Structure 1
Amino acid sequence: MAKVKYYYDSDTLSYQKIKIKKRDKLKNFLLTIISAFIFMILGFVVFTPFFESPKEKELSRELEFVKLNEELHSKKIVQLESILKEIQDRDNNIYRLYFEVNPIPEERRKAGFGGINRYKALEGFDNSEMIIDVTKNMDILSKQLYIQSKSLDEIVNLAENKEKLLAAIPAIQPVKKEDLTRMASGFGWRTDPFTKARKKHYGMDFSAPSGTPIYATGDGIVKRADQRASGFGKHIEIDHGFGYITLYAHLSKYNVRRGQHVKRGDLIGFVGTTGRSQGPHLHYEVHKNGRKINPINFYYGNLSPEEFEAMQKAAQIEGQSLD
């Protein structure tokens, strides 16, 4: 029940009851409602940031998680870039240098991506700049890793070929030094034992008793083992690959057949005097890409420096060849 209010009337010297008109009551009521509404709006605007809904809290946590992940990815990318840079340096300055191939240019390793905007779909978000930057760095890193992976594949192939090449090169003496009578004739101009005319001698003659073992000087495939070539008698040719072919002539008999795979040091035949020969010996030649070259440059596999020097001096003596 509303309280009754009074006022003091100085004319009548008495208290009179205050009478409120209905219009005033309605006015006061409306003012109260409006004031409450205004205070409610102000309270929502001022205090809402401090009181998040469960959904808003969940979104805020997800946003913080995304930001944290992006920062961690950025740090990880920096670490990976540092590791990749070391691998790239070793690749260019050690591996590719060792196998005598050109280094990969820096501009090729760090080439960007051309064409349309690859990151348009990532635009328009609160953290678009950060997301685009991380994604772009990941793309660049992925491309560099792909290039480096292909380079290492190439290095592996080169290493395998290098190993095959080292095994294929004719690197030992075809007749063991303890089995030799002497190194009869070297590569160069010599006197023909039959015509007595000077002519080019394209191999080395190793004088040894008939039946002395002859060994393959490098890995390869027997290209021929016959006596159909003029002057060589029974002879063997081995194709070592990489442009190398070796020839072993004037044999007494074979220990291999055409098409057979041989390894360096395998017994392939025996010294003889078949064909155009003045005595038991092995005539040995080395061919590279169809050109006959001096075999003395290929004996590093089983001669000491002193023995090699002695053989070199003997090979330089211009005398008569044995074939």
Structure 2
Amino acid sequence: MAKVKYYYDSDTLSYRKIELRKRDKFRKMMVFVVASAMMGGLIVFFMYQFVESPKQKVLKRELENMKLHYELLEKKMAQAEEVLDGIQKRDNNIYRTYFEANPIPEEQRKAGFGGVNRYKSMEGFDNSQMIINARRDLDILSKQLYVQSKSLDEIIDLAKDKEELLASIPAIQPVSKQDLTRMASGFGWRLDPFTKARKRHKGMDFTSPRGTPVYATGNGKVLRADSNSSGYGKHIRIDHGFGYITLYGHLSKYNVKRGQKVKRGDLIGYVGSTGRSQAPHLHYEVRYNKQQVNPINFYYGDLSPQEFQEMLKMASQEGQSLD
């Protein structure tokens, strides 16, 4: 029940009931309506800012899930780029060199996209930069894959008339690839196991048990199978033609003789520790036009891109050789 208000009338010396005019009643009602609207607006604003609706929660989860997928995508693209980089290096340094084709310039392989903004439609959103970066990396990777694919098509054409060359060039590991950790020392500067001085290691060392089979890495003819070369102990040299010679040192015994023709994968001897050797292992060299070259570039017929990257990592570690 509404309260009745009175005022004191000094003329009549009595209390009189206050009668509100319609205009005053309307003004009070409007004040109440405006105040209620403002209060309601504040409540809605507060809930919108600090209380998530079910739909907002769903959208938030979808956004977090999308960010996670983009992070995984970026990692996968980085891995793909690493593998592709190894293939590109082998393409320039091995395949194209074999067939006397000019290497593809780095700026051509790694070129981006100039001119018009290809990603303008993706701008203006909360996560625009993340999406643009992922799309740009994917586009660049796709372009590099296209360039590499065209290069390999060219190599295939060149190889059609050079089957003999491909069969002769060293292309596999001289020992089994079952355990890559057997690669003990790579090509380059290493510590001499006897003098402890830095010395240029002209091949790769594979630690293996005495008697482990050793295989020819390409077709050719046995030049030597003897122990008449200082330091190598019992060793084999194979002339593959086209300027390539491979050497297999510190053997325990031979399975071929001088003048014998061999094919890639033939058993030619067994691991030992003869000559200047600290422990049973195979010392393997590749010589091109009488110059020692890094054998790691000649396993393209035996290793996957991932295995090649793992061996490349181990071979780059500078430590002590075994001979």
Corresponding position of 1:217: 217
Q: State the shift of 1:182 in Å.
A: 1.4
Distance in 1 of aligned mates of 2:281 and 2:317: 18
2: distance between equivalents of 1:187 and 1:100? Answer: 24
Q: Which whole-Å CA distance do the structure 1 matches of 2:209 and 2:243 have between them?
A: 32
Aligned to 2:321: 321
Could you tell me whether the CA contact under 8 Å between 2:235 and 2:251 is conserved in 1?
yes
Paired amino acid for 1:319:
G
Shift of 1:161: 5.9
- Displacement of 1:225 after TM fit? 0.1
The two structures, once aligned, show a CA RMSD in angstroms of 1.9
How much has 1:283 moved relative to structure 2? 0.2
Max Rg structure = 1
Instruction: Give the equivalent residue in structure 2 for 1:57.
Output: none
Alignment match, 2:273: 273
Q: What amino acid is the match of 1:171?
A: A
SS in 1 for 2:218: coil
Residue in structure 1 matched with residue 308 of structure 2 by the alignment: 308
C-alpha contact 1:214 1:267 (8 A) present in aligned 2: yes
TM, length-normalised to structure 1 = 0.51
> TM-score under structure 2 normalisation?
0.51
User: How far does residue 315 in structure 1 lie from its aligned partner after superposition?
Assistant: 0.4
Query: In structure 2, do the counterparts of structure 1 residues 291 and 235 end up closer, same or farther at CA, with 3 Å as the change threshold?
Result: same
In structure 2, the partner of 1:202 is 202
- 1:131 is matched with none
Query: Deviation per CA, 1:149-204, whole angstroms, max 9, x where unpaired?
Result: xxxxxxxxx97861110000000000011266611000000000000000100000
2:228 corresponds to which letter in structure 1? R
* Alignment gaps of 5+ in structure 1: 1-98, 102-157
2:297 corresponds in structure 1 to 297
Alignment of 1:35-114 (within 5 A): none
Q: What residue is the counterpart of 2:233 in the other structure?
A: 233
1:181/1:208 contact within 8 Å kept: no
5+ residue gaps in structure 2? 1-98, 102-157
User: In 2 relative to 1, CA 198–180 (structure 1 residues): closer, same or farther, beyond 3 Å?
Assistant: same
Match of 1:174 in 2: 174
Match of 1:261 in 2: 261
Match of 2:151 in 1: none
Output one character per residue of 1:297-321: Cα deviation in whole Å (capped at 9) or x when no partner.
0001111111111100000000000
What is the rounded CA distance, in whole Å, between the counterparts of 2:281 and 2:236 in structure 1?
14
Amino acid at match of 2:199: K
How far, CA to CA, are the matches of 1:209 and 1:161 in structure 2? 40
Matched residue type, 1:322: L
Contact 1:236–1:247, Cα closer than 8 Å, also in 2: yes
| In structure 2, C-alpha distance between the alignment counterparts of 1:209 and 1:188, rounded to whole Å | 24
